[in-house]
Amino acid sequence: MNMAGMNGGYGESHNPREVWPQETGPVAGQHYPVYSTELMDYYVSKGFTHIRLPFSWDRIQSRLWGPVPAEGQGYQTYFGHLQRTVNHLTGRGATVLIEPWQAGPPSTDPEEDGVAGGARWRGQLVGSPQVDRYAFADFWAKMATIFRDIPLVEYGLVNEPNGMSTMDWWVTAQKCIDYIRRAGASTRIYVEGNGWSGAGSWKQDWYDHVPAGQPQRSNAYGWLNANGPGQPLWDPLHKTAAQVHLYFDNEGSGKTNEIVDENRRHQRLSPAIEEGAAQGYQVLIGEFAVWAEEPEADAAVAQVATYVAEHQSTCLGALWWASGEPTWWHNQEAPNYALRRHNKDTDTIEDTANMALLLKYF
């Protein structure tokens, strides 16, 4: 399960949750939810073994190369809630995948606020003159130093890189892996691909932002050449996997409730898994979802469950998008959410139709 909500944006925005004081840090309950122990225990009771926990780099480190967490009450409190969540879930036996989800730059279009900005810090791309890629690697070294002694914590480098050079991203990913390992962390690392890391586009190159005249590269190519021609991404512990995302609406974004036919679903599911199998690396489906009220929803989830079971040597599993503190989200904002508050007075949790659908395949 993805437990979303602690991720967030910065600066000016149409969404008041995205506007927070950068001098002192975000405010709990105003700019991000505080996950209850009831919520976390609920996941464990349902049988979820892995929780992907998006958070905000911007809300932990107020200046590049600076301390983690940053000085300032808001930053300290935010990081304390992140640690508390990790500690509680891992204490209950769940594996927690911590991963930055950076919002995109502020936009004049309300529909564009809060989009997945990828490898950015305060709106500026990692690898640009404003954000040195080694500053991102340094951030990960500091995070790994804090969490390295918890064997159930794993590391996702960043959610949905986009708007950048594919090879620049894979070079940056290698530096982050290097720094995480030097910090002493020994658990699995997940690397998403450029172009929002779609499972179906893993071997395509349309998302590569390079100057005119330079060849565009796919994520499949990036993995195999991250350290130079013919030199693939390298982890001395051999515990780094690709992470891809999978949605079945017409545009593949998860923004609408359409579900494409079975052949098109397979075309989106298989390329990254087949490439990983051919090249000897493993793949996690870090996000997938459908809306349970759609006629093809049951068949789509069954297709994913069957595919994962049939490719266990390569595909590590799949995580639903999403859930989180139910009072933080309204159903119209996130119709694929898997739970809600049944009664705000008693504050009890109730499964949605999405959860009921998902649990059929446990």
CA–CA dist 163, 171 (Å, integer) = 15
CATH number at residue 310: 3.20.20.80
For 313, the domain range is 16-359
Residue 9 in any domain: the answer is: no
* Count of structural domains within the chain: 1
pLDDT > 70? residue 99: yes
Which pLDDT band, with edges at 50, 70 and 90, does 15 fall under? low
Calculate the alpha carbon distances from 284 to 3, 52, 89, 116, 295 in Å. Answer: 16, 11, 20, 19, 27
Q: Which residues pair with 304 in a beta bridge?
A: none
Asked whether the predicted pLDDT for residue 168 surpasses 60, the reply is yes
Q: Which region among 87-101, 233-247, 253-267, 316-330 has the lowest average model confidence (pLDDT)?
A: 316-330
Q: How far apart are the first and last CA of the chain?
A: 12
Please tell me the predicted confidence (pLDDT) of residue 334.
56
> What would the mean pLDDT of 163-178 be, rounded to a whole number?
98
| Nearest residue to 187 (alpha-carbon basis) of 231, 156, 232 | 156
- Amino acid identity at 227: N
1 part of a folded domain: no
Residue 114, domain member (yes or no): yes
Alpha-carbon span 362 to 359, nearest angstrom: 5
- Say if 3 falls within a structural domain: no
Is residue 299 situated within a structural domain? Answer: yes
Give the separation between CA 140 and CA 135, rounded to whole angstroms.
Answer: 9
Question: Do 319 and 287 contact (CB within 8 A), yes or no?
Answer: yes
